[in-house]
Amino acid sequence: MCRNIRTLFNFEPPVTEAEIHAASLQFVRKISGFNAPSKANEAAFFAAVDEVARISGELLSSLQSTTAPKDRQDEIAKARIRAAQRFGRSIRDADSDGARASGVSSSSLGSAKKHRPP
């Protein structure tokens, strides 16, 4: 359920509002226990997502780091290698599974990997 909650601070290029919103949605889903809220809870659920996103954006814009920003593509490559080692698959298999889960066809994976956000 919380796969989209990732470290968002100190990356190049910087975090986008869409990434902050996706992490906020996953956080509210986790703490509420709802994947999709009922009509009765919908307003409160989405208000919480918006508030968490707003506060998270403020936090990220106010943080400072003494280290150089991490490169997103390098971090993605490292995560794929760790996943392949952990699950005993080749990196190509891990890429195909990631493409399937994200809706990217394996035939377009080569170009999608270079431009896909984490």
Q: What is the pLDDT along the chain (118 residues), one digit of tens a residue?
A: 456 567 888 888 888 999 999 999 999 999 999 999 999 999 999 999 999 999 999 999 999 999 998 988 888 899 889 889 888 876 665 555 555 444 444 443 443 344 444 4
> Are 57 and 79 contained in the same domain?
no
pLDDT computed for residue 27 by the predictor: 94
* pLDDT given for residue 49 in this prediction: 97
Residue 101 lies in a domain: yes
SS3 letters across 57-114:
HHHHHHCCCCCCCEEHHHHHHHHHHHHHHHHCCCHHHHHHHHHHHHCCCHHHHHHHHH
**Do 107 and 75 fall within a single domain?**
yes
- Specify the pLDDT at position 20: 93
8 A C-beta contact, residue 23 and residue 8: yes
18 is a domain residue: yes
Statement to judge: residues 20 and 49 lie in one domain: yes
Q: Decide: residue 70, CB within 10 A, 0-12 exposed, 13-18 middle, 19+ buried.
A: middle
Question: What is residue 3's predicted lDDT score, i.e. its pLDDT?
Answer: 61
77 and 40 fall within a common domain: no
Question: Does 102 fall in a domain?
Answer: yes
> Which among 62, 89, 105 is the end of a domain?
62
pLDDT of residue 14: 87
The predicted pLDDT at position 42 comes to 96
Q: Is 38 domain-assigned?
A: yes
pLDDT for the residue numbered 8? 86
Given this model, what pLDDT does residue 60 score? Answer: 93
Q: Report how many domains make up the chain.
A: 2
Say whether both 54 and 16 belong to one domain: yes
In a domain, 4, yes or no: no
The residue range of the domain holding 36 is 11-62
Q: Say yes or no: 81 and 108 in one domain.
A: yes
